[in-house]
Amino acid sequence: MMQGFYWDCPENWYAGHMQPKAAELRNMAGGFGITRMWFPPPSKGGSGGYSMGYDPTDYYDLGTYNQYGRVATRFGTQAQLKACLTAYRNQGIACMADVVLNHRTGGASEWNPNTGSNTWTNFNGVLSGKCKWHYNQFHPSTFEAADPGAFGGYPDACHATGNAVGQPYKDLVDWANWMKSNSNAGFNGGWRYDYVKGVNNWYVRDHRNSTGGSFCVGEYWDANTATLDWWANDTGCSAFDFASYYTLRDICNNGGGGGHLPNLVDPNKSYAKKNAFRAVTFCGNHDTDEITQDKMIGYAYILTYQGYPCIWWKDYYNYGLATLGGQWGNGIKQLVWCREKLAGGGPNVRNLKTDDGDLLMYEDQDGNASSPGYVVALNDSASAWRGSWVNVVNPNLKNKTLKCYAWYSPVSGQNYQPANEVCDANGWAELWAPPRGYAVYAPTGY
């Protein structure tokens, strides 16, 4: 999937940037491409045109009402959102909304007997006329004193208010279901739940189940893979793999080769290794643009390893990682082709070489005639090519000449296609990767 925005992206985002790219992104690499687009939070925020949507005020204002300084959200009008969603759905791309359940902003001041002070919790004035909450719909409430966490000093929504109209529990479910209608928006690809550390697990689970039980992923910002697994299994959602992200950050940003690649296949340092079914891997997002060197090592990993990879718009377009200057074999596009064509979209990984801190090798151990699988080599060495003899179990790779279909090195003079190598009938092959780079091998003929 792709995150289709970044912090402080240009205004008129839906019509001027996202919508024109729908067909291109679905067919980015030889007919293969993304199948889910993550849209920004669609509701009008308290900071109007400056809002990135994470300060929701009027949930039902998707760019319709003239309030908080303008009609459109930062990203566009409701009509432009609907047109953009239609363009992606017409390409067969599921459209996922970013939803903020934890907090709300932009209310008027009112006396709050629960705190003995005035709080900004009067939402009677929202122009949609929906979700007119007051102080008792926020913590501390007579329903619940607190939940797992508040954010930024914003009024913290109380979901323990009961399943009635006018209460956050039901209102946020009804709003999400309203956004699924093509007449209102047309989201059909589930939800990205913001700041789920601040929301009770039971409410995330109930919200997901009450809005169709479709694919959902939570921003549980934690690098402990056991914690991520607990949250994902308890809610029924997937979880962003912050463990792998921080492991990749330490590897990619250490240009001297001081990273430790085997950490990427350690279930304590990679949620994708621990639970591939629940892990959504990524190399950057609107909050975490921290990998500033050799990010293609990271993309080679998330796009060839198990888990559900998320490409970031800013990496693909703004940072030029789609093709890295247009050379065949380099960049995100070619790695997407490898995953989809060679591994059938879902690699089942077996580790091959994990005893060298600068060299990691693994294979997609399944395959068939149309998607044979591959062997991946990642090289953390600052200046030297690294290789090793490995013994594969995938029968589609045995007794074949293996070609390198994707590769890259940022080291001057080293970014060239590795030579073909022979994998013998017993599965033995000697394969190489360039410095601070990667190589993806599969049988010739694809």
Q: Are residues 323 and 354 in the same domain?
A: no
| Count of the separate structural domains present in the chain | 2
Q: pLDDT digits over 207-243, tens only?
A: 999 999 889 999 999 999 999 999 999 999 999 999 9
How would you class 227 by CB atoms within 10 Å of its CB: exposed for 0-12, middle for 13-18, buried for 19 or more? middle
CA atoms within 13 A on the CB side of 58: 24
Q: Are residues 252 and 323 in the same domain?
A: yes
Residue with tokens 């998320």: 310
CATH number assigned to the domain comprising residue 422: 2.60.40.1180
Q: Are residues 420 and 358 in the same domain?
A: yes
302 belongs to a structural domain: yes
Assessment of whether the complete model's pTM goes beyond 0.95: yes
156 belongs to a structural domain: no
129 belongs to a structural domain: no
425 belongs to a structural domain: yes
Q: Are residues 319 and 355 in the same domain?
A: no
Cis peptide before 140, with omega less than 30 degrees from 0? yes
* 407-418 mean pLDDT: 97
Give the pLDDT score at 41: 98
* 30-46 mean pLDDT: 97
Domain membership of residue 226 as a residue range: 2-104+166-342
Give the pLDDT score at 201: 98
For residues 42 and 369, the model is more confident at: 42
405 belongs to a structural domain: yes
Give the pLDDT score at 255: 83
Q: Are residues 336 and 429 in the same domain?
A: no
In whole angstroms, what is the distance from residue 408 CA to residue 438 CA? 6
C-beta of residue 10 within 8 angstroms of C-beta of residue 17: yes
In whole angstroms, what is the distance from residue 251 CA to residue 258 CA? 7
Give the pLDDT score at 21: 98
Instruction: Note the Cα 146 to chain centre separation in Å.
Output: 29
pLDDT for residue 151 is more than 90: yes
Which of 242, 247, 278, 275 shows the shortest CA–CA distance to 260? 247
Give the pLDDT score at 49: 87
Q: Are residues 302 and 408 in the same domain?
A: no
Residue with tokens 């590769």: 407
Res. 260 pLDDT band, cuts 50 70 90: very high
Residue ending a domain, choose from 288, 314, 342:
342
145 belongs to a structural domain: no
Give the pLDDT score at 185: 98
Res. 85 pLDDT band, cuts 50 70 90: very high
Q: What percent of the chain has pLDDT over 90?
A: 97
Residue ending a domain, choose from 288, 321, 342:
342
Give the pLDDT score at 20: 98
CATH number assigned to the domain comprising residue 75: 3.20.20.80
* 293-311 mean pLDDT: 98
In whole angstroms, what is the distance from residue 149 CA to residue 101 CA? 12
Q: pLDDT digits over 97-108, tens only?
A: 999 999 999 999
227 belongs to a structural domain: yes
The token duo for 444 is 């010739």
Q: Are residues 294 and 367 in the same domain?
A: no
Which of 407, 345, 347 shows the shortest CA–CA distance to 374? 347
Res. 326 pLDDT band, cuts 50 70 90: confident
* 15-23 mean pLDDT: 98
Rounded to the nearest integer, the mean pLDDT of the chain is: 97
Q: Are residues 295 and 386 in the same domain?
A: no
Q: What percent of the chain has pLDDT over 70?
A: 100
Q: Are residues 267 and 401 in the same domain?
A: no
Res. 327 pLDDT band, cuts 50 70 90: confident
Q: What is the CA radius of gyration of the chain?
A: 24
Which of 125, 134, 190, 203 shows the shortest CA–CA distance to 162? 203
Q: Are residues 183 and 290 in the same domain?
A: yes
Res. 133 pLDDT band, cuts 50 70 90: very high
Residue ending a domain, choose from 342, 371, 403:
342
209 belongs to a structural domain: yes
Q: Are residues 370 and 391 in the same domain?
A: yes
Give the pLDDT score at 61: 98
Q: Are residues 321 and 368 in the same domain?
A: no
Give the pLDDT score at 257: 76
In whole angstroms, what is the distance from residue 251 CA to residue 378 CA? 11
